[in-house]
């Protein structure tokens, strides 16, 4: 190589080290054109283009460098970086492996290999790769950060937190590590600490739109709705194309019952990303809860593309029914989502039978005994049983779209579920024959339900509804430890948890009640579907099926809705219920 070329390389290198990457790239390009076999010049041209995010141009430069300097591990490692940026993950992994063959103690290549494995969904393998990097360089903050992310990928949250803490010990100003630490704390339900971690991240990098958005998530969890809104607005101001922040903000606006603003924000997200399933589902919920069902049902079909439900998509050789004539056809209706959804939407079996369909209904196994006498069902199946022949299929919650169901055309519904008569008589004896009003109660649902923190009420608060002279029967089978002291102290609440072995038992006990008072759980749907008077306690932002602006429901004629006046405010709801129970008599059943 001539002295002129060597001097030109040194000058280009100086530009690069001074941060003048554009000028350095021009200089290295000129050298590579003059000396097309000079691997070092090709390599540095590729590195500059990689830093300038010109990945398509960087790739051939680094590939050529690898051909001319095949023994340089840095070339292969940087080639892996550009291949990863181009989402060519398997090739990226191969490039890192080549670098490590040449230099087994190459910590950066081990860490980058871990990044590629994470991209490929191989979390456990990524953990091993980051650990190899740390064996080579124990204080490598970026590898510790990657290790924290990989532990999160496999939901090993305590180890994830420990890795982020170790990274921050090595690099206290590591803004993105603070942000990802906040994500892990959120998963550990240590929400106030998550907020502190996000705020530290933002002190270090106030221009991080992602950190502002994540901060909005935890502020919402803490009930600081206006602060959360401001955080999302800051995120979107920093990144006008930040669709995830828009979708999260739209969800917040919906939860604040600012439905018009939520619809507009979802529309803004869809203007950028028309196939964003979260925005479509948000839009569906906004329309459905507002009673605009004809607008909501089409968007609700996008639920199958969301992370929560995409693994539950059923595929059949037969087509999905979308409203075509059913005379003489056999249709498979199959349950989806929760037990309450099945109890609510199984009513449509009779609707389709009236249209001439032979209805096969596939439901969750715990509901088979209860739904055996359901009108309109030709064959009832537990999920997983062999399926008879059928012509078309439909998920239960897609039936309203196929029917074109609206508030205006929804036919009045009567009781369509009933308890087994023998079990009903047995439970009537257990419930007692005194003249006291019998009220079935449910104050909490499954803790793992994503909205449980909004719908469930501590028993110590819920018991404020009780009145003397009435007999209360617990319809739930599971209790939280915090509820037990107050619950066991009451002599007017009968607890049947060990004897409620099935939904059929619960239905039989409900049949012995004069009234059911419940938070929004499957038991409320069961009681309402049986035609019992049900008083339902709803959070300020209710589930989409409880249409806003009314205290009744088009779904169940004998349900009465008691709504929070604002987020988290159960006290006025419970006071209202206490007063209403004093006025309720059995005569109201007729």
Model confidence at 589, in pLDDT bands (50, 70, 90)? Answer: very low
Give the domain CATH number at 159: 1.25.40.10
Strands 515-519, 534-538: pairing kind? parallel
Task: Tell me: do 114 and 29 sit in the same domain.
Answer: no
Q: Is the pLDDT of residue 13 over 90?
A: no
In a domain, 333, yes or no: yes
The model's pLDDT over 183-234, given as tens digits with 9 standing for 90+, comes to: 999 999 999 999 999 999 999 999 999 999 999 999 999 999 999 999 999 9
Taking only the tens place, the pLDDT of each residue in 31-78 is 677 788 877 878 888 888 888 888 888 888 888 888 888 998 989 999
Of the three residues 121, 152, 168, the one that is the final residue of a domain is 168
Q: Which two tokens stand for residue 584?
A: 């309720």
Indicate whether this model's pTM tops 0.85. Answer: yes
The segment with the largest mean pLDDT, out of 15-19, 430-434, 478-482, is 478-482
Are 376 and 426 in the same domain?
no
pLDDT band, very low/low/confident/very high, at 411 (cuts 50, 70, 90): confident
Same-domain status, 375 and 443: no
Q: Are 104 and 132 within 8 A, CB to CB?
A: no
Same domain, 430 and 545: yes
Give the chain's mean pLDDT.
93
Residue with tokens 């992370």: 307
Beta sheet of 437-442, edge-to-edge order: 493-495, 470-474, 437-442, 515-519, 534-538, 559-563
Residue 354 has pLDDT above 70, yes or no: yes
Is residue 86 included in any domain, yes or no? Answer: yes
Supply the range of the domain harboring residue 78.
70-168
Q: What is the mean pLDDT of residues 149-162?
A: 98
Structure tokens, 276 = 């964003």
Q: Contact 360/332 with Cβ under 8 angstroms?
A: yes
Strands (E), 317-377: 330-334, 358-363
Least confident of 169-173, 201-205, 319-323, 485-489: 485-489
Give the C-alpha separation, 449 to 457, whole Å: 14
Identify the pLDDT of residue 62: 82
For 458, residues 6+ apart whose C-beta sits below 8 A from its C-beta are 443, 444, 480, 482, 483
Q: Are residues 469 and 522 in the same domain?
A: yes
pLDDT tens column, 442-484: 999 887 777 777 899 999 999 999 999 899 999 998 888 999 9
440 and 581 in a single domain? The answer is yes
Instruction: Give 128-142 as a DSSP string.
Output: HHHHHHHHH-TT-HH
Final residue belonging to a domain, choices 44, 63, 82:
63
Alpha-carbon span 358 to 214, nearest angstrom: 49
Q: Is residue 509 part of a domain?
A: yes
Residue 506: closest CA among 486, 524, 531: 524
| Among the listed residues 138, 182, 176, the one whose alpha carbon sits nearest the alpha carbon of residue 160 | 182
Closest C-alpha to 80, from 117, 121, 130: 117
Q: Are residues 436 and 373 in the same domain?
A: no
Tens-digit pLDDT profile for residues 76-109: 999 999 999 999 999 999 999 999 999 999 999 9
Asked whether the predicted pLDDT for residue 586 surpasses 70, the reply is no
% of the chain at pLDDT higher than 70: 98
Higher pLDDT, 531 or 23: 531
Rounded average pLDDT over 4-11? 73
Domain assignment of residue 250, yes or no: no
Q: Tell me, what's the pLDDT at 302? A: 98
Task: Give me the sign of the Cα torsion angle 172, 174, 177, 179.
Answer: positive
pLDDT of residue 454: 86
Give the per-residue pLDDT at 412.
80
Lookup: tokens for 360: 């096969």
Question: In this structure, are strands 379-382 and 392-395 parallel, antiparallel, or unpaired?
Answer: unpaired
- The confidence band for 4, taking pLDDT boundaries of 50, 70 and 90, is low
Please tell me the predicted confidence (pLDDT) of residue 16.
78
Domain boundary among 146, 168, 190: 168
CB atoms near residue 581 (< 10 Å): 18
Q: Please indicate, yes or no, if residue 207 is contained in any of the structural domains.
A: no
pLDDT at 140: 97
Structure tokens, 208: 């991080």
pLDDT at 552: 96
Could you give the CA distance from residue 483 to residue 493 in angstroms, rounded to a whole number? Answer: 13
Q: Are residues 476 and 429 in the same domain?
A: yes
Q: Could you tell me if residue 529 is inside a domain?
A: yes
**152 shares a domain with 57:** no
217 compared with 431, residue with greater pLDDT: 217
431 and 577 within one domain: yes
397 and 427: one domain? Answer: no
What pLDDT shows up at residue 15?
Answer: 77
pLDDT band per the 50, 70, 90 thresholds, residue 1: low
For residue 299, CA distances in Å to 243, 292, 471, 482, 503 come to 17, 12, 44, 40, 32
Residue 198 lies in a domain: no
Query: Which tens digit of pLDDT belongs to each residue from 238-295?
Result: 999 999 999 999 999 999 999 999 999 999 999 999 999 999 999 999 999 999 999 9
Same-domain check for residues 366 and 437: no
CATH number for the domain harbouring residue 443: 3.40.50.2000
Contact (CB, 8 A) for 415 and 527: no
Q: Which helix (H) or strand (E) holds 296?
A: helix 293-300
β-pair partners for 361: 333, 380
173: Cα within 13 Å, side-chain hemisphere: 3
pLDDT band, very low/low/confident/very high, at 5 (cuts 50, 70, 90): low
Report how far residue 434's alpha carbon sits from residue 452's, in angstroms, rounded to the nearest whole number: 35
**Structure confidence at residue 590 (pLDDT):** 43
**What's the pLDDT score for residue 368?**
96
Residue 111 has pLDDT above 70, yes or no: yes
Residues 6 or more apart in contact with residue 65 via CB below 8 angstroms: 39, 40, 42, 43, 46, 72, 75, 79
Query: Does residue 339 belong to any structural domain of this protein?
Result: yes
- How many domains does the chain divide into? 4
The CA–CA distances, whole Å, from 93 to 47, 50, 76, 171, 557 equal 18, 17, 10, 27, 61
């Amino acid at each position: 190589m001539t002295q002129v070329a060597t001097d030109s390389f040194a000058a280009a290198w100086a530009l690069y080290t001074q941060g003048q990457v554009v000028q350095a790239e021009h200089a290295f390009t000129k050298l590579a054109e003059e000396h097309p076999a000079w691997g070092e010049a090709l390599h540095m041209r590729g590195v500059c283009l990689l830093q300038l995010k010109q990945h398509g141009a960087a790739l051939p430069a680094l590939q050529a460098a690898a051909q001319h300097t095949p023994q340089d591990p840095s070339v292969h490692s940087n080639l892996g970086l550009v291949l990863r940026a181009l989402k060519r993950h398997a090739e990226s992994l191969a490039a890192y492996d080549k670098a490590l063959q040449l230099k087994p103690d190459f910590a950066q290549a081990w860490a980058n290999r871990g990044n590629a494995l994470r991209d490929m969904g191989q979390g456990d393998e990524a953990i091993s790769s980051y650990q190899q990097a740390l064996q080579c360089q124990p204080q490598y903050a970026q590898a510790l950060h990657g290790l924290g992310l990989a532990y999160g990928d496999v939901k090993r949250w305590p180890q994830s937190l420990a890795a982020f803490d170790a990274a921050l010990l090595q690099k206290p100003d590591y803004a993105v590590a603070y942000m990802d630490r906040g994500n892990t704390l959120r998963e550990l339900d240590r929400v106030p600490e998550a907020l502190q971690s996000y705020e530290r991240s933002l002190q270090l990098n106030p221009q991080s739109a992602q950190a502002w958005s994540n901060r909005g998530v935890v502020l919402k969890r803490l009930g600081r709705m206006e602060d959360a809104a401001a955080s999302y607005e800051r995120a979107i101001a920093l990144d006008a194309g930040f669709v995830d922040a828009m979708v999260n903000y739209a969800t917040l606006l919906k939860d604040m019952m600012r439905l018009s603003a939520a619809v507009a924000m979802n529309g803004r997200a869809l203007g950028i990303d028309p196939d964003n399933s979260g925005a479509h589902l948000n839009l569906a919920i906004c329309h459905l809860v507002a009673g605009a069902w004809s607008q909501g049902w089409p968007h609700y079909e996008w639920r199958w593309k969301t992370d929560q439900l995409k693994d539950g998509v059923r595929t059949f050789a037969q087509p999905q029914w979308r409203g075509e004539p059913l005379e003489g056809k056999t249709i498979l209706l199959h349950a989806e989502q929760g037990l309450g959804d099945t109890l609510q939407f199984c009513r449509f079996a009779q609707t389709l039978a009236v249209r001439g369909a032979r209805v096969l209904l596939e439901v969750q196994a715990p509901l088979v005994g209860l739904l055996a006498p359901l009108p309109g069902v030709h064959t009832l199946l537990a999920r997983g049983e062999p399926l008879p022949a059928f012509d078309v299929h439909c998920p239960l919650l897609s039936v309203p779209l196929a029917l074109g169901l609206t508030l205006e055309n929804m036919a009045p519904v009567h009781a369509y579920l009933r308890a087994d008569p023998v079990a009903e008589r047995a439970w009537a004896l257990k419930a007692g024959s005194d003249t006291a009003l019998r009220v079935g109660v449910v104050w909490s649902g499954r803790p793992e339900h994503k909205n449980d923190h909004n719908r469930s009420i501590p028993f110590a608060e819920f018991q404020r509804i009780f009145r003397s002279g009435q007999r209360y029967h617990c319809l739930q089978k599971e209790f939280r430890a915090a509820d037990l002291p107050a619950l066991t102290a009451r002599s007017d609440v009968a607890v049947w948890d060990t004897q409620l072995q099935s939904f059929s038992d619960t239905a039989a006990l409900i049949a012995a009640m004069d009234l059911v008072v419940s938070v929004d759980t499957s038991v409320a749907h069961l009681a309402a579907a049986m035609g019992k008077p049900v008083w339902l306690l709803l959070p300020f932002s209710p589930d989409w099926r409880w249409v806003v602006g009314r205290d009744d429901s088009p779904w169940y004629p004998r349900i009465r809705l008691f709504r929070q006046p604002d987020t988290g405010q159960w006290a006025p709801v419970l006071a209202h219920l206490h007063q209403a129970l004093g006025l309720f008599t059995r005569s109201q059943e007729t």
